[in-house]
């Protein structure tokens, strides 16, 4: 028998089966067909040892895209790139514009979990819908189908699917385009977050830098710990120090280290505590909520102090204190509302959040605002040290050592200069970018800063000497002169 004869014989068999199926559908009663199909499925399931689970792309009558489908799609992207023969490519709009591959429709890939092998297949159902236009509209419903042996049901339905969903969400977060949000009243708007700051380029003492990095990484992996001790998964940071010491740069470095979004909260634009709560609810997990210059945002920090002074009958006004809030600012956000924002019941919404305050004058802040449990870690960013200068020299001039480093080190021990001022001196002023000229500029700047500090200290020293002389006991010689 030739191949043509075999093919002809097979074709006639298939035609006969199709004819019998058509007769069955046409002439057999519906109840009989339903019973036959039900028992045939039971027979097949008894013989066929595999279980199949289908995850459709849309749920709720196509109103929402399924989170499970999206997580599975992301999880399978790495497996698909190595196994599938037909792939789909897409650009993820993150800072690196990454190319992500996923398996095309009707492809299958294998996966393994705890020594158990299973299979994922992608599919698509296409149905034509009625339309009054010239071209028919098709309704595409994509899905993923998971197939595994029935003896592994508990392992796959429990731990494996949880692992797939969790890993898929984490990959999606790593690949997402991170955003910088700001508020206009009770609404957030955003731009793409592209700040290049990292802890490697941050001008900070190496030991303090290492301590902060370790603290951040431990926090980002402590979900189970926070759940076990019954605390919301959040942590407060207070960054304080003179202007130009790198507080905003550190916040950007923290966001880049952890891969978090940034929410820059402008308190003066918030009408009241209700709007503040609404803004908090709309923040996502894996984010940093920042309130810069908290002592200047609203007159919250001195309210209790002023109330205490009024109760004690103190009529004396402190010129350093701000004008009362109601006379200058329309916002009705209160200290109580802000404290609830930080660690009240609503602060647990979303989870995995850092709340960062910055200030130039930590002494002006209300102790209730910065106590442990609200601002858990206090980080002082002070004037530039020699170790921080070496980081800046490496960043700006690509220098690890230079003969001018010794006088610069000596001058740093004798005077104060912020990292921002140091960076300005190290910024190449010419196209050639001569490193020695930049270092000489820094030496002159440090010497000038030292002279100014000494000049400012002279009147204070004279005043202290005179005051000391006035406080000396009157001697016999002085009495005789009198």
Q: Which residues sit opposite 139 in a β-bridge? A: 127
The DSSP line for 440-463 is: HHHHHHHHHHHHHHHHHHHHHHHH
Write the pLDDT tens digit of every residue in 98-153: 677 778 888 889 999 999 999 999 988 876 555 555 555 556 788 999 999 989 99
CA distance 62 to 143: 13
CA distances from 436 to 390, 393, 398, 424, 425 (A): 14, 11, 12, 14, 11
Helix (H) or strand (E) holding 182: strand 179-184
CA distance 246 to 381: 7
Residue pointed to by tokens 């919404």? 349
Neighbours of 430 (CB within 10 A): 8
| Three-state secondary structure call for residue 386 | helix
Question: Residue range 178-192: average pLDDT?
Answer: 90
Helix (H) or strand (E) holding 119: strand 116-129
- For CATH 3.40.50.300, the residue range(s) in the chain are 180-312+326-380
Whether 352 and 169 have beta carbons less than 8 Å apart is answered as no
The DSSP line for 254-288 is: HHHHHT-EEEE--GGG--SHHHHHHHHHTPPSSEE
What is residue 327's predicted lDDT score, i.e. its pLDDT?
47
Whether 179 and 192 have beta carbons less than 8 Å apart is answered as yes
Q: Which residues sit opposite 149 in a β-bridge? A: 50
User: Which CATH number does 180-312+326-380 carry?
Assistant: 3.40.50.300
This prediction has a pTM of: 0.69
Question: In the predicted model, is pLDDT for residue 314 greater than 80?
Answer: no
What is residue 322's predicted lDDT score, i.e. its pLDDT?
47
Write the pLDDT tens digit of every residue in 387-431: 999 999 999 988 999 999 999 999 999 999 999 999 999 887 654
What is residue 300's predicted lDDT score, i.e. its pLDDT?
57
Question: Residue range 47-64: average pLDDT?
Answer: 79
């Amino acid at each position: 028998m030739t191949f043509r004869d075999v093919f002809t014989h097979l074709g006639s068999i298939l035609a006969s089966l199709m004819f019998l199926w058509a007769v069955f559908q046409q002439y057999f009663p519906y109840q009989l067909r339903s019973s036959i199909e039900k028992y045939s499925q039971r027979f097949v399931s008894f013989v066929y040892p595999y279980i199949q689970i289908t995850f459709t792309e849309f749920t709720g009558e196509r109103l929402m895209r399924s989170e499970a489908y999206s997580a599975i799609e992301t999880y399978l992207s790495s497996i698909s790139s190595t196994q599938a023969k037909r792939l789909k490519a897409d650009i993820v709009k993150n800072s690196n514009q990454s190319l992500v591959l996923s398996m095309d429709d009707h492809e299958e890939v294998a996966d393994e979990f705890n020594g158990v092998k299973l299979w994922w297949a992608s599919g698509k159902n296409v149905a034509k819908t009625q339309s009054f236009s010239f071209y028919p509209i098709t309704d595409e419903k994509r899905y993923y189908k998971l197939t595994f042996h029935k003896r592994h049901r508990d392992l796959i339905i429990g731990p494996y699917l949880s692992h797939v969903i969790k890993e898929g969400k984490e990959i999606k977060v790593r690949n997402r385009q991170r955003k910088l949000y700001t508020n206009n009243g009770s609404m957030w708007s955003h731009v793409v977050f592209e700040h290049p700051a990292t802890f490697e380029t941050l001008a900070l003492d190496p030991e303090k830098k290492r301590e902060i990095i370790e603290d951040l990484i431990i926090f980002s992996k402590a979900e189970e710990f926070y759940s076990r001790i019954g605390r919301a998964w959040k942590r407060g940071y207070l960054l304080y120090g003179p202007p130009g010491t790198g507080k905003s740069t550190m916040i950007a470095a923290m966001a880049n280290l952890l891969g978090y979004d940034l929410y820059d909260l402008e308190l003066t634009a918030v009408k009241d505590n209700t709007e503040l709560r609404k803004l908090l609810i709309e923040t996502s997990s894996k984010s940093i909520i920042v309130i810069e210059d908290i002592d200047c945002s609203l007159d919250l920090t001195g309210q209790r102090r002023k109330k205490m002074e009024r109760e004690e009958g103190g009529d004396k006004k402190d010129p350093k204190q701000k004008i009362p809030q109601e006379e200058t600012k329309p916002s009705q956000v209160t200290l109580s509302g802000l404290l609830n924002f930080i660690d009240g019941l609503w602060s647990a919404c979303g989870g995995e959040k850092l709340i960062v305050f910055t200030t130039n004058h930590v002494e002006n802040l209300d102790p209730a605002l910065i106590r442990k449990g609200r601002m858990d870690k206090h980080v002082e960013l002070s004037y530039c040290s020699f170790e921080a200068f070496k980081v800046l020299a490496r960043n700006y001039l690509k220098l690890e050592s230079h003969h001018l480093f010794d006088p610069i080190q000596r001058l740093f021990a004798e005077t104060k200069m912020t990292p921002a001022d140091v960076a300005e001196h190290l910024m190449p002023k010419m196209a050639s970018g001569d490193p020695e000229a930049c270092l000489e500029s820094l030496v002159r700047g440090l010497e000038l800063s030292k002279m100014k500090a000494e000049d400012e200290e002279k009147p204070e020293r004279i005043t202290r000497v005179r005051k000391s002389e006035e406080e000396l006991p009157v001697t016999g010689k002085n009495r005789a002169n009198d």
